[in-house]
Amino acid sequence: MLEPAACQAMETSCSETCIAVQGSVGLMAAVAAAADVAVIGLGGLGSATAYWLARRGVSVVGFEQFELGHLRGASHDHSRIIRRSYHTPEYVRLAAAAYDAWRAVEAESRQRMITITGGVDLFPPNAAIDHRTYTASLDAEHVPYEWIDGAEIRRRWPAFAAGEIVTDDVMGVYSPQTGIVPAGPGTRVMQQLAVARGANLRGNSPVRAIRPIDGEVDIVTDDGVVRVGSVVVTADAWTNRLLRDLDLQIPLAVLQEQVSYFQQPDLARFAVGRFPVWIWMDDPSFYGFPVFGDMTAVKGAEDCGGREVDPDTRTFDPDAAMEQRLGAFMQRLAGGQWATPRTTTCLYTLTSDRDFVLDRLPGYPQVSVALGAAHGFKFASWFGRSLAGLACGEPAGRELAPFAFTRESLHRPIDRAAWMV
């Protein structure tokens, strides 16, 4: 693990000095001292980590098992929600840091990363998700919001008035700071910034094993072994495969989820300013976006509605039943006809408690791991900044305590009820 001072004044030469060691298949392989830190998995969290490490002046090598910008994980597609509205004060507080971290990417790239739209969390009577956890958390952090009824929701956003489900007794938490961050485009920007600062990002480079040795780590790849001072694992659905050699595992459920884009004859009524980001806070839970940027359809999705899959053998075929459920809900929400959509799939990698993982591994301080628990992209730049600190030997701050690898709730059996937040 790197010492903090080493990350402040990096003089490492990244020389290609090689040492002969036993390879992973019984052959002699070259160990290249190629970087101070390795990042394994270059989706949103890993790309952000590479960027924030390179921004510190740390030499970094990133490994992605597929091509950069691939469609097999969780960081592709058009957009993700970013919001202060959350069910615990800790997440509300971290969301402020997430906005700040994205603003840093905006400043360096000179590209917009956050589009403010306003957002409303919709709570029907007897909702499965308790609105009091949201309002109390916002109050605790002194974050402004409005508690509005169905009549006011319909007045502000007439698209809801065309539907039938936002009745007078539906209540909403309106947060003016809610917005949208770009998923695939944002990941690509962070990769470009990292490379511009000297990061070596390798696509189509699967990591076969990570082997801590003498306070450093050997990264075993098909092209040889790379020795680094520390490693950050941001492999999402493939995390446990990398932890297996360390005799560590996390109970995880990997679901194939999907988002759908519906053609509508009057897109203007769903444009930013006339339609918000919205979340239906019940079981099942749905969410959606206003039309913005180059979108030519209305985007919506069901949360945690997909089946459990193996990330290596899953199909990419949309679930027709999920499409039908979503289309029927959208019709009840906003009226009109919601014909067969264009649908794309992605992976949700869920922890037992649906909280993040962001910690050094017990017994291996030179190895850090992170999981976004299927709501992490809005925090991606913050994850990267935090992981860069851990990789550089900085102490984990109090803000990371809820996401410890050793917390009891992380190692409980999977319980879908815990995902309803």
Report residue 158: phi and psi, to 5°.
-60, -20
Give me 203's structure tokens: 């696509």
- Same domain assignment for residues 265 and 338: yes
- Same domain assignment for residues 8 and 155: no
Tell me: the pLDDT tens digits for 230-239? 999 999 999 9
Mean pLDDT confidence for 206-231: 97
Q: Cβ atoms within 10 A of the Cβ of 336, count?
A: 17
Q: Please, which pLDDT band fits residue 189 given cuts at 50, 70 and 90?
A: very high
- Same domain assignment for residues 216 and 159: no
Mean pLDDT confidence for 172-197: 98
pLDDT exceeding 70 applies to what percent of the chain?
92
Does residue 81 lie in a domain region? no
Q: Please, which pLDDT band fits residue 33 given cuts at 50, 70 and 90?
A: low
- Same domain assignment for residues 96 and 145: yes
Mean pLDDT confidence for 61-77: 97
More confident residue, 417 or 146: 146
CATH number at residue 207: 3.50.50.60
Residue 4: predicted pLDDT: 58
User: pLDDT averaged over the chain?
Assistant: 92
Indicate if the pLDDT at residue 293 is higher than 90. no
Domain termination site, one of 351, 368, 386: 351
Q: Please, which pLDDT band fits residue 8 given cuts at 50, 70 and 90?
A: low
Residue 421: predicted pLDDT: 81
- Same domain assignment for residues 260 and 327: yes
Domain termination site, one of 334, 351, 368: 351
Indicate if the pLDDT at residue 11 is higher than 50. no
Does residue 413 lie in a domain region? no
Please list, in sequence order, all residues whose beta carbon lies within 8 angstroms of the beta carbon of residue 110, skipping any fewer than 6 positions away: none
Mean pLDDT confidence for 367-379: 98
- Same domain assignment for residues 101 and 230: no
Domain termination site, one of 351, 369, 391: 351
Domain that holds residue 290: 91-179+253-351
Does residue 419 lie in a domain region? no
Residue 16: predicted pLDDT: 30
- Same domain assignment for residues 169 and 274: yes
- Same domain assignment for residues 267 and 341: yes
- Same domain assignment for residues 209 and 305: no
Q: Please, which pLDDT band fits residue 1 given cuts at 50, 70 and 90?
A: low
Distance CA 342, CA 83 (A): 26
Q: Please, which pLDDT band fits residue 24 given cuts at 50, 70 and 90?
A: very low
Residue 31: predicted pLDDT: 61
- Same domain assignment for residues 175 and 188: no
Q: Please, which pLDDT band fits residue 278 given cuts at 50, 70 and 90?
A: very high
Q: How many domains does the chain have?
A: 2
Q: Cβ atoms within 10 A of the Cβ of 30, count?
A: 15
Give me 120's structure tokens: 């409303």
Does residue 12 lie in a domain region? yes
Residue 23: predicted pLDDT: 30
Does residue 415 lie in a domain region? no
Does residue 79 lie in a domain region? no
- Same domain assignment for residues 198 and 346: no
CATH number at residue 175: 3.30.9.10
Beta carbons of 119 and 145 less than 8 angstroms apart: no
Indicate if the pLDDT at residue 277 is higher than 80. yes
Give me 1's structure tokens: 């693990």
